[in-house]
Amino acid sequence: MSSTPVDRHDAGPDPCGQFETERLFLRSMLESSPDYIYFKDTQSRFLRINLALARYFGLNDPSEAEGKTDFDFYPEEKAREQWEDELCIMESGTPVTDKVERQVRAGGKVVWVLTSKAKLCDREGRMVGTFGISRDITLLKEMEDTLWNERNLLRNVIDHVPDFIFAKDREGRYTLSNLALARFFRKNTPDEILGKTLFDLFPKEIAESSRADDQVVLEERKPVFNKVGSLAANYWFSTTKIPLFNTSGKVAGLVAISRDITEEKRAQHALEQANADLMRSQEALMRALEQLRAVQLELIEAEKMKLVGRLAAGVAHEVKNPLAIITMGLGYLKRVRFEDPNVDTVLTEIGSAVERADAVIRELLDFSAPKKLNLEPHDINQLVRHALVLVRGEFGSHHVKVVEELGEELPPVRLDTLKIEQVLVNLFTNAAHAMENGGTLTVRTSTRQVTGVGENIAPADGLRVGARLVTIDVCDTGPGIPAALLGKVFEPFFTTKPTGQGTGLGLTVTKTIIDLHGGSIEIRNRAGGGACVSVVFNAETESTT
């Protein structure tokens, strides 16, 4: 065995035992170090190896390696690579540092080692060989591979999901981004976004809004889930941001995922639109249904009235014949002289009863018969004056004073003069009858324009803002109508007159005629006593039947 620099202690005296001490240190290190340590001569023959390397080579004792080379322990290719490294060190004096080497052990097991090598010199500084130290880093290498694989997997996921995935530091600089986000910003790679902030990439308004969201996550240290916002015109995103904590528990930034929900939003919008359309259709349908119901009721009513008309006509014919016989009989009897002085009274009563029955039949026919109006533009005041003349007799017998307050420049109203005259005569007669002990009848006419302010104008009324209305008020100073009965005055066969004095059809016929003219009629009690009837015509009503 040749002497080596490692165990040479014959170089001179060692009075202080320094060499001995260092030798001990070296031996301890060689025996206990888990790293592989060797010393070689200039021929790359092992001068000394440590216990760990001996075990690696499968030797029982390190001394068994002395004089052997790497070609005795490694496959030739590997041994040659190491020999060339050593040659290079010896020629250049430059060490090999931290070289990662792959080695295949007997049985095929792959081992990774980290090797550093340098030249070995004697006391005079002459190069006498090389030495090296290798550390088994197989475990570390495997961990590194696992880590790389995981990172690669994660990167693949991040880059291939269609959502935007990104992370930012506390200053708002992107520290991670993915391909989807890069494409959104028209960049080639995700790395082109790194280091930029929202303000580098978005218009100021959007950047500020998004930054404010980031601040909430960073300051409150709480995630924000599925916040919907617009990153660009007509583009909608749902974003979840989660704070990123460093090892000391401080918020270092945030990580976020943003999903493009534009299509969902559009679909939702379309759905809402469709819903609204549906609601509108439904409302229109309901209105149509209501109108249909109203028309149906009107038709039923019209059919009923037709039936009543037929019935009334039939009854009228059958009743009028006996009345004709009674009337003729009365005519006969009135010409006969009777001894009984009461016969005249009896005959007069019978006569007035027949007249009343005949009047009821006439009004019943009037009420039930469909009307055809003969509409012509007419001056309301003229009609009022004429009707007042017709009932002059009634006023005289009831001691009624008439006050005319007829408005000037009333617009002409299209109406059937005979029917409206009938209405006015009816209203005046009712008023006169209400003032048994005399009183004042005030007839007032006026005109006004529909302003729409404070007025309840239904389209069905045929009124519009700007339309001219003409009103006739007929007011008496009688006792008025009991409040409970006010709502019934237009009902058929309702009357406040004593039995036998009213048919109960007068106001019903009146209302029917006014309705046919497209007008309105209302009756109310006056504050100062008496009743007041108001009839309103639309001066613009074109025609009605």
Partner 1 sequence: MNKILIIDDEAGFTRLMKLTLQQVGGYEVFEENDGSKAWETARQVQPDLILLDIVMPGMDGGDVAAKIRGDGALAHIPIVFLSAIVSEKDPIPDGLIGGFPFISKPVSLDALIQCIRQHLPAAQQA
Query: Does 353 contact partner 1 by CB under 8 A?
Result: no
Q: How far is the CB of 404 from partner 1 (least distance, A)?
A: 30
**Gap between the Cα atoms of 111 and 101, Å rounded:** 8
Q: How far is the CB of 532 from partner 1 (least distance, A)?
A: 31
Rg for the chain, CA atoms, rounded: 60
Half-sphere exposure of 445 (CA within 13 A, CB side): 19
Give the DSSP letter of residue 371: P
Residue numbers 360-379 binding partner 1 by CB under 8 A: 361-362, 365-366, 369-370
Number of residues that bind partner 1 (CB under 8 A): 30
Residue 329 Cβ vs partner 1, minimum distance, rounded to whole Å: 5
Distant-in-sequence, close-in-space partners of 501: CB < 8 Å, separation ≥ 6? 433, 495
> Is 364 or 481 the residue whose CB approaches partner 1 more closely?
364
**Cβ contact 228:215 at 8 Å:** no
CA 430 to chain centre: 61
Contact 234, 188 (CB under 8 A): no
Closest contact distance (angstroms) between CB of 488 and partner 1 is 26
Looking at the Cβ atoms of 111 and 365, the one nearer to partner 1 is: 365
Contact range with partner 1 by CB under 8 A, out of 169-177, 214-222, 358-366, 483-491: 358-366
Among candidate residues 466, 374, 465, 477, the one with its CA nearest the CA of residue 420: 374
Among candidate residues 206, 208, 211, 181, the one with its CA nearest the CA of residue 193: 181
Q: Calculate the alpha carbon distances from 435 to 187, 399, 439 in Å.
A: 99, 8, 6
Q: Give the nearer residue to partner 1 in terms of CB position, either 170 or 371.
A: 371
Residue 493 CB, shortest distance to partner 1, in Å, is 18
Nearer to partner 1, 28 or 352 (CB): 352
Closest contact distance (angstroms) between CB of 306 and partner 1 is 8
- Compare residues 211 and 356 and give the one whose CB is closer to partner 1: 356
- Of 139 and 336, CB closest to partner 1: 336
Q: Does 465 bind partner 1 (CB under 8 A)?
A: no
Rule CB under 8 A: which of 303-342 touch partner 1? 309-310, 313, 316-321, 323-332, 334-336
Provide the residue type at 256 as one letter. A
The conformation of residue 11, written as its DSSP 8-state character, comes to S
Which one, 140 or 418, has the nearer CB to partner 1?
418
**227 vs 362 by CB, closer to partner 1:** 362
Quote the least distance from Cβ 516 to partner 1, whole Å.
14
- Closest CB 304 distance from partner 1, rounded Å: 14
- Whole-angstrom distance, CA of residue 445 vs CA of residue 471: 6
Min separation Cβ 334 and partner 1, Å: 7
Residues comprising the chain, all counted: 545
- Would the CA dihedral through 145, 151, 153, 156 be positive or negative? negative
Whether residue 34 contacts residue 136, with contact meaning beta carbons closer than 8 Å, is answered with: yes
- The interface with partner 1 within residues 369-428 (CB under 8 A) comprises 369-370
CB of 338: closest distance to partner 1 in angstroms?
A: 14
Q: Which is nearer to partner 1, 75 or 331 (CB)?
A: 331
Distance of closest approach, residue 330 Cβ to partner 1, in angstroms: 8
Residue nearer to partner 1 on the CB measure, 440 or 544: 544
Minimum distance, C-beta of residue 331 to partner 1, in the bound complex (Å)? 3
Please give the full DSSP string across 65-114, using - where no structure is assigned: GTT--GGGTS-HHHHHHHHHHHHHHHHH-PPEEEEEEEEE-TTS-EEEEE
**In whole angstroms, how close is the CB of 303 to partner 1 at the nearest point?**
13
Output 85 or 366, the one with its CB closest to partner 1. Answer: 366
Nearest to residue 29, comparing CAs of 75, 78, 62, 66? Answer: 62
Count other Cβ atoms within 10 Å, centred on residue 212: 9
Q: Find out whether 59 and 68 touch, Cβ atoms under 8 Å.
A: no
Is residue 302 a contact point for partner 1 (CB under 8 A)? no
Residue nearer to partner 1 on the CB measure, 316 or 489: 316
Q: Which stretch binds partner 1 (CB under 8 A): 69-77, 355-363, 391-399, 429-437?
A: 355-363
The window from 209-217, 354-362, 392-400, 475-483 that contacts partner 1 (CB under 8 A) reads: 354-362
**Token digits of residue 86:** 């050593």
Distance between CA 481 and CA 490 in Å, rounded?
13
Number of C-alpha atoms within 13 angstroms, CB side, residue 335?
5
Q: Which residue do the tokens 């918020």 mark?
A: 251
Rounded Cα gap, residues 159 and 189, in angstroms: 10
Per CB under 8 A, the segment of 11-19, 75-83, 340-348, 353-361 that binds partner 1 is 353-361
Q: Would you say 155 or 356 has its CB closer to partner 1?
A: 356
3-state secondary structure of 479: coil
Which chain residues interact with partner 1 by CB under 8 A?
Answer: 309-310, 313, 316-321, 323-332, 334-336, 354, 358, 361-362, 365-366, 369-370
